[in-house]
Amino acid sequence: MIIQIIVSIGALLVLIGLWGLLTRRNLIKMIIGFSIMDTGTHLIIVGLGYRKGATAPILDSSITPGTHFVDPIPSALVLTAIVIGLAVTALMLAYAVRLHSSRGSALIEDFKENTL
């Protein structure tokens, strides 16, 4: 049950982020929307690896034979996704700073093809 809620929150975050990306005109706000969408995707991927009553796939003294583990592959994929998301966000912010310093504006409609 709890995992349905978490994955639903993830899906909701993806939709909120997409809405921000499509309707905001300020570059920084669009990047924030992208970040929210990113977080939602991570929640969904991690949620897909969940199994009822299972524990984290780390072996220590508390693990007995017959213990169930959650799927370790989505966790590994999300780790990759988080780092790449960070790098892409930094890159987008750098572009936004650069665009702002070249035109003095952070609104997307000031960067139409024919006005450049």
Partner 1 sequence: MIKRFLAIIALLGAAAVLLPFVLKLPTEEALPGLASEYIENAPGELGAANLVTGIIVTYRGLDTLGEVAVLFAATAAVGLLLKRTGNEGGVSHWRASEILESGGGFLFPLIILYGVYIFLHGHLTPGGGFQGGVVIATGFLLLLLSGSVNSFNHTVMSLVESFSGFAYVAVALAGLIWAAGFLDPRFLPQGDFGRLFSAGAIPVIYSLIGLKVGAELIGILDAMRCKVRREGVTA
- Are 17 and 85 in contact by the 8 Å Cβ rule? The answer is no
**Dihedral angle sign, alpha carbons of residues 83, 23, 18, 109:** negative
Cβ nearer to partner 1, comparing 59 with 114: 59
CB 69, CB 56: distance < 8 Å: yes
Listed ranges 15-23, 27-35, 104-112: which one lies at the site for partner 1 (CB under 8 A): 15-23
3-state secondary structure of 106: coil
CB of 5 to partner 1, least distance (A): 10
79-108 footprint of partner 1 as x/- string (CB under 8 A): xx-xxx-xxx-xx-xxx-xx--x-------
Query: Of the candidates 6, 93, 4, which has an alpha carbon nearest to the alpha carbon of residue 42?
Result: 6
Give the residues lining the site for partner 1 (CB under 8 A).
3-4, 7-8, 11, 14-15, 18-19, 22-23, 44, 47-48, 50-54, 56-60, 68-69, 71-73, 75-76, 79-80, 82-84, 86-88, 90-91, 93-95, 97-98, 101
